Structure 1
Amino acid sequence: MSLHLMRLQPDPTALAAWAARHDLLSPDGDYGYALHALLRAAFGDLAPKPFRYLDGRQGLLAYVSAPVETLRLNASLAAPDVARALGLDALDTRPFPTIWQTGQHLGFEVRVRPVVRANDGRERDAFLHSFGDGSVLGMPTDDGSIARRSAIYANWLSSRLADKDAAKIIEAHLDAFRLTRVLRKVGASEGKRRKALPVNGPDVVYKGLMQVGNGEAFARLLARGVGRHRAFGFGMLLLRPATAC
């Protein structure tokens, strides 16, 4: 398996205009669905996921396993407004490691949407799910509840990193938390396009230190991403040398 780290520099003005024109901007200003649609328009079925849009200055990062030459060819066929919004003329890539040593320590950062499937099949905030089916409306948002959120989300993250013995968390801290409305297409009817509607949920960034378990499982996790909504800007593990943490 080959893996490359791809960087794009979306134009903030063109991106905002494209998202507004296509009704793909969430009420909270999240660009996840718009970038998903733009990447699909530019790269088709090879659209990268996971990806992480950092901001207008730092741009977009993604892991890609498709041949770089094919990605560049697809990008060259994109419509001008798509190319401007994504900054395709400045597409940059570099090879990324695919061989990892058991026990290797790595610093990490990851933006995730910690949700679980409820009994009715719907996604639910992992924090709220921990209370069962009871109502938690009006629950205080003091330091205690934030601490509990952090612990529950950390457990959620740890369990997903530990799948197939890919990695384990040595230490992690909640770097950012908010509840955001992101666009998802829901419902379907014959002959009609699904509408993109806002869905509320947790938007969390964790930073910390991890230890690689099974090297092959870790490589697959890195390429696949963590959790759900990986095609919409969540789940990309950003890595750094452990000494840089």
Structure 2
Amino acid sequence: MSLHLVELPLHLLDLHGWAAKRGLAKGLFDEGLALHHLLGEGFGPAALQPFRLMVAPRATRATLYAYGAEPAETLVKTAMTVAPPSERAILSLDQIRSLPRPPESWQAGQRLGFDLRLRPVVRLASALKTDREQFAKGAEIDALLAKTLRNDKTHAREEVYLDWLEARLSPVAGLDRDTTCLHKFQRQTVLRGGKRLDGPDATIHGTLTIKDPKGFAELLARGIGRHCAYGYGMLLLRPPQRRT
């Protein structure tokens, strides 16, 4: 398989203005949804997916990182051929860069640090009902809420989310719980199919150990969890964390 890490600078005000003109910011601006449309129209459906937008506090510029099957040169050629002028103005095509990430980059037993933004949700296999709410079979809900409702116990958010992540890394990689933590959490409302969905938005910093190099490369390419086409699920790799 061919895998490349792509880096693309973006002007946030330009992105917001473009989304407003396209009718993507009515009542609620969903940054992930806007980027989903922008990247798809500029480079092709799922050409840059999963992705992650990194923004410094109070910054007007951001950097988008993504995994894709094509290098920067090919992406630029595609955008120059098909992207409308408004999209090309936002995409900064002269500044796109990429690095290859072939499967042979990874080795069994290799430890890697990571920074991961995810939406730790589950789809219910059966209906759940409480005194306050009722959830239909197939509903998407917070993994913490699902576990709490199933056994009527209080659980630590970090513990539940790390369990959720560990299950999705398996069997291609193992999670080092001693050097992994829930770095940030908030509730985030997103737009999917014209409907508003409220759910968890979590960032986890930690360390993993590769077990299956080929499988790990495939995991990078598809992302972790749901909403990978909207800015969640991309494993940004870092040096491994130190054990204390």
TM-score bucket of the superposed structures, by smaller chain: 0.7 to 0.9
Match status 1:183 vs 2:187: no
Tell me if structure 1 keeps the 8 A contact 2:46–2:229: no
The equivalent of 1:189 in structure 2 is none
The equivalent of 1:159 in structure 2 is 167
- Unmatched runs of 5 consecutive residues or more in structure 2: 127-136
- Cα shift at 1:235: 0.4
- Of residues 98, 107, 119, the one that matches 1:101 is 107
- Cα shift at 1:68: 4.3
Paired residue secondary structure (1:199): strand
Q: State the AA in 2 paired with 1:106.
A: L
C-alpha spacing 1:28/1:172, structure 2 compared with 1 (3 Å): farther
Tell me if structure 2 keeps the 8 A contact 1:116–1:124: yes
Paired residue secondary structure (2:209): strand
| Alpha-carbon distance in structure 1 between the residues aligned to 2:114 and 2:229 | 20
The equivalent of 1:70 in structure 2 is 74
Tell me if structure 2 keeps the 8 A contact 1:168–1:211: yes
| Alpha-carbon distance in structure 1 between the residues aligned to 2:7 and 2:166 | 27
Tell me if structure 1 keeps the 8 A contact 2:6–2:72: no
Q: TM-score, normalised by structure 2?
A: 0.84
Deviations 1:114-153 (A, max 9, x none): 01001211211101111226999xxxxxxxx7x7111111
| Alpha-carbon distance in structure 2 between the residues aligned to 1:50 and 1:243 | 23
- Cα shift at 1:50: 0.3
Tell me if structure 1 keeps the 8 A contact 2:206–2:241: no
- Of residues 89, 94, 97, the one that matches 2:94 is 89
CA RMSD between the two structures: 2.3
Match status 1:17 vs 2:41: no
- Cα shift at 1:83: 1.6
The equivalent of 1:7 in structure 2 is 7
- Cα shift at 1:30: 3.6
Percent identity over the alignment? 42
The equivalent of 1:226 in structure 2 is 224
Tell me if structure 2 keeps the 8 A contact 1:104–1:211: yes
| Alpha-carbon distance in structure 1 between the residues aligned to 2:197 and 2:151 | 20
- Cα shift at 1:16: 0.6
- Unmatched runs of 5 consecutive residues or more in structure 1: 137-144, 186-195
Aligned length, in residue pairs: 224
The equivalent of 1:188 in structure 2 is none
The equivalent of 1:190 in structure 2 is none
Paired residue secondary structure (1:25): coil
Q: TM-score, normalised by structure 1?
A: 0.84
| Alpha-carbon distance in structure 1 between the residues aligned to 2:13 and 2:34 | 13
Paired residue secondary structure (1:201): strand
C-alpha spacing 1:207/1:94, structure 2 compared with 1 (3 Å): same
- Cα shift at 1:66: 2.9
Q: Which moved more, 1:153-162 or 1:37-46?
A: 37-46
